[in-house]
């Protein structure tokens, strides 16, 4: 079992269920543009950068994506941002990781300013050692690889000898792809918006169903192992 001392958490779909606010913001956006898109497919737009969702999923011309983001954020930036709830078990997981001596960071494609506002509103601002997200305009920190590099460099962890001690935890293939591009391993979790098939296809190093499974994966010596069989390393070709 690998030994990790630095854990990077995705935010949307991993730490918080942000879907109510995100979905309501997309409802607002589509109504403004008089467009139709199946609401059951909104979850496809949680994970990738927002601009990418407008271009690749909603099929907006790239030159109109900035305007589209601004319309979306008319709702999300004022109301939708706080229409979210922390997933059960997350706070205890992070607290237990700290007790085991781990550094715990956020690495999210969500704008950093929004992530900080949510954590402050929910009285969770001090839970993480560092919070890294995209820039609001999505111009310099956009893809998950950009975010991870930013988090690691900001904390002096971007040298090659540190990488095998760092684990990314996230709910979508973008977390796996970004982590592997940087040279770190990734654990896919199943309480968010991704699924086992997605993680198997993209080569996740581990797949965990619950927050306890994540704790068992990272801290087997320090904590009593339960549901050990539920931790399934991904067997991908």
- Report how far residue 159's alpha carbon sits from residue 71's, in angstroms, rounded to the nearest whole number: 40
How large is the average pLDDT for residues 102-130? 96
Using one digit for the tens of pLDDT, what is the confidence trace for 29-75? Answer: 999 999 999 999 999 888 888 888 999 999 999 999 999 999 999 99
Look over the chain and give the mean of its residue pLDDT values, rounded to a whole number. Answer: 91
Using one digit for the tens of pLDDT, what is the confidence trace for 83-100? Answer: 999 999 999 999 999 999
Sign of the dihedral through C-alpha 65, 66, 72, 76: positive
Q: What's the pLDDT score for residue 150?
A: 97
Domain segments of the chain: what residues? 6-17+86-233, 19-82
pLDDT band at 103 (very low <50, low <70, confident <90, very high): very high
Q: What's the pLDDT score for residue 232?
A: 44
Token pair of 16, please? Answer: 């918080």
Total-model pTM: 0.89
Q: What is the CATH number of domain 6-17+86-233?
A: 3.40.50.1000
Q: What's the pLDDT score for residue 47?
A: 82
How large is the average pLDDT for residues 113-134? 96
Token pair of 70, please? Answer: 């601004």
Whether the Cβ atoms of residue 110 and residue 130 lie closer than 8 Å to each other: no
Q: What's the pLDDT score for residue 228?
A: 41
Q: Which CATH architecture has domain 19-82?
A: Orthogonal Bundle (1.10)
Q: What angle, 0 to 180 degrees and rounded to 10, lies between the N-to-C axes of helices 173-182 and 144-154?
A: 50
Give the full edge-to-edge strand order of the sheet including 232-233: 130-134, 103-111, 6-9, 166-170, 185-189, 206-208, 232-233
CA angle 182, 104, 125 (to 5 degrees): 125
Q: What's the pLDDT score for residue 233?
A: 43
Using one digit for the tens of pLDDT, what is the confidence trace for 131-160? Answer: 999 998 877 888 999 999 999 999 999 999
Would you put residue 102 in left (φ > 0), alpha (ψ -120 to 50) or beta?
Answer: beta
Q: Is the pLDDT of residue 171 over 80?
A: yes
Sign of the dihedral through C-alpha 66, 69, 73, 77: negative
């Amino acid at each position: 079992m690998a030994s990790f001392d630095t854990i990077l958490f995705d935010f949307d779909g991993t730490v918080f269920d942000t879907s109510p606010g995100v979905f309501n913001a997309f409802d607002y956006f589509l109504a403004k543009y008089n467009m139709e898109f199946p609401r059951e497919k909104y979850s496809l737009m949680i994970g990738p950068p927002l601009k990418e969702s407008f271009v690749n999923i909603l099929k907006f011309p790239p030159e109109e994506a900035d305007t589209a983001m601004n319309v979306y954020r008319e709702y999300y930036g004022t109301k939708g941002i706080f229409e979210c709830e922390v997933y059960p078990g997350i706070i205890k997981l992070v607290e237990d990781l700290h007790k085991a001596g781990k550094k715990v960071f956020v690495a999210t494609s969500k704008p950093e300013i929004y992530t900080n506002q949510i954590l402050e509103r929910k009285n969770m601002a001090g839970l993480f050692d560092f919070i890294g997200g995209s820039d609001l305009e999505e111009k310099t920190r956009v893809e998950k690889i950009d975010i991870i590099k930013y988090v690691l460099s900001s904390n002096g962890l971007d040298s090659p000898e540190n990488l095998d001690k760092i684990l990314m935890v996230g709910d979508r293939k973008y977390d796996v792809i970004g982590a592997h591009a940087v040279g770190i391993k990734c654990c896919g979790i199943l309480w968010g918006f991704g699924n086992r098939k997605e993680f198997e296809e993209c080569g996740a190093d581990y797949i965990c169903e619950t927050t306890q499974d994540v704790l068992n994966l990272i801290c087997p010596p320090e904590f009593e192992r339960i549901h050990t069989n539920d931790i399934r390393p991904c067997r991908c070709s």
